[in-house]
Amino acid sequence: MDGATLAAALEDWRRELGADAVLDGAAAQARHGACTMATRRRILGAIAPADADAVRRAVLVARRHRVALYPLSTGHNWGYGSANPARDDCVVVDLARLDRVLEFDRELGVVTLEPGVTQRALREFLDARGAEYLVPVHGGGPTCSLLGNALERGYGITPHTDHFAAVTALEAVLADGEVYRTPLTLQGAGLADRVFKWGTGPYLDGLFTQGAFGIVTRMTIALAPRPESTMAFFFGVREDAELEAITQRVQNVLRRTQGVAGSINLMNQRRVLSMMVPYPDGVPAQAVIPDAQVAALGRANQVMAWTGAGALYGQRRVVAAAVAEVKAALRPLARRLLFVSAPRLARVRAVTRFVPGFATSKLGNVLATFDKTLQLLGGAPSEIALPLAYWRVPGRRPAHDDLDPARDGCGLIWYAPLVPMKPALVRTYTGFVDSVCRKHGIEPLITLTSLSERCFDSTVPLLFDARDEAAVARARACYDELREGGRALGFLPYRSSVDAMPAVVQADSPYWRMVRDFKAAVDPDNLIAPGRYTP
């Protein structure tokens, strides 16, 4: 794009949105360019509209000047690209100022919100009204957008595991400035639209997930009510050789307790230790912690080969019955099967609070972890997972709680493939990941999260120093080998980073040709998020 065209567009945006809402290329790069993947996109500028109508006017300016836009909610898409566009030469549309909860129906349990509403903001909104509903939290932390996560088809561990499944309606600005609304709303049945996901006619809302068809400015989500009882459970698996057996038992738990159990996580020993102990000194940058040292750390911290964690939600009597089912399904294979509720934990804390040194003891740290986990399971946003990004660069972690891995130079790339819940396939998958990560000097930290009784999504954080070019090269090579090797084995990520989009999109297939045709129909100039899940 020539400089005169961009300058004219920026000037028009200043007139439409106000001078404070427009950044030139250098300022936009400084604001949005940091990335845990060490990706560096060429960003032409950034605009920050204040409301949905300002988004519409901004799109019309982009259309007039043929300037590509890349929308983001809060830009905290850590491990997948942070705030970086999928391609160079876009103007970022920063939607963080659209931060209102537009409607809340306490009786029906649905809330309509804008892109800038974060996990923390919704929790505060509900608490201020005494509304007994859970926030659909995930590990990204309190400052992440609820709308943005749902549009990436993210998931969590509270009862509404699939976050886009809980979306009932949305509104978006299209590339021609028109506003997309669903048929029920257009016919005057707005309330029905907000409580019935599918509307009438072809279902098109899904095009706006992992797509580039418009800028979503509002979304309605169904909230899970706060249950009478939330019971977390934790267990260990002593030997790695028991992985197949515990996979089958986890599947049995999910089948026996449908509607009561949320997701169940299985985490390997290294992944759990990454949450409990500092990264050991003396490990070369291009190597992983030796197995003998990992085993010793595991013994010292009572961390077994695999650790499982899950939660049960419902009326007390229902949860009590589900506890019996979990025990029957997991024992005797599961070791140290422990059930923890907030009231039980509070009683333990009351007893131990006056014990000298208890808070900083190993048991005190375990109780603190239980406390944070229960908060997350109870729909309270938490930074419990964010310190992981700092594990290999601990000196970068700020003393305060305002964690921002991209800003702080942490290296993180997420490999997040789907793994069918067949024991033999789970073994093949974990062996594959372990081998590839070790080869590239990346700690093989593996979590398997149940999306249903049929499928895990695995999250593997590739951790490195984003300011070390050699470390960046190793991490990228590791990700590429995981992606391509995983594809050959049938394990493909459920979402893509901005760098991996070209590998995901196979333009010569009927599916992607249809996506291309849809995109050409609604955005012929390719103005909205070029390169994002499109040929």
Q: Which residues contact 115 (CB under 8 A, 6 or more apart)?
A: 71, 73, 74, 95, 96, 98, 145, 147, 148, 216, 217
Kindly state whether residues 317 and 210 are assigned to the same domain. no
Domain count, the chain: 3
Say whether both 243 and 379 belong to one domain: yes
Domain co-membership, 68 together with 205: no
pLDDT at 352: 66
Residue 398 is part of a domain; what is its CATH number? 3.40.462.10
Residue type, 349: R
- Pairing of the two strands 167-173 and 229-237: unpaired
Write down which residue in 182, 203, 222 finishes a domain.
222
**389 falls in which pLDDT band (50, 70, 90)?**
very high
Residue 442 gets which letter from DSSP? -
CATH number of domain containing 27: 3.30.43.10
Residue type, 519: K
Which residues form the domain of 476? 229-489
Of 37, 72, 94, the position where a domain reaches its end is: 94
Same domain, 27 and 105: no
In a domain, 334, yes or no: yes
Whole-angstrom distance, CA of residue 387 vs CA of residue 241: 30
Residues 6+ apart with CB under 8 A from 296: none
| Average pLDDT, integer, range 404-428 | 97
Q: How far apart are CA 495 and CA 504, in angstroms?
A: 9
The C-alpha atoms of residue 193 and residue 190 are separated, in whole angstroms, by 5
Q: Specify the residue for token string 């072809």.
A: 202
Residues 74 and 114 in one domain: no
What residues contact residue 277 under an 8 Å CB cut-off, 6+ apart?
297, 301
Identity of residue 525: D
Cα–Cα distance for residue pair 315/23, rounded to 1 Å: 52
Work out the percent of the chain whose per-residue pLDDT is above 90: 86
Does 364 have pLDDT greater than 70? no
pLDDT digits (tens, 9 = 90+) for 279-291: 999 999 899 999 9
**Per-residue pLDDT tens for 454-495?**
999 999 999 999 999 999 999 999 999 999 999 999 999 999
362 assigned to some structural domain = yes
- Has residue 506 been placed in a domain? no
Closest to 182 in 3D by CA, of 167, 166, 164 = 167
Q: Is the pLDDT of residue 208 over 90?
A: yes
Last residue of a domain, which of 472, 489, 506?
489
Q: Is 497 part of a structural domain of the chain?
A: no
Residue 391, CB-side half-sphere exposure with 13 Å CA sphere: 27
Whole-structure pTM value: 0.94
Give me the residues paired with residue 44 across strands: none
**Spatial CA neighbour of 311 closest among 342, 281, 275:** 342
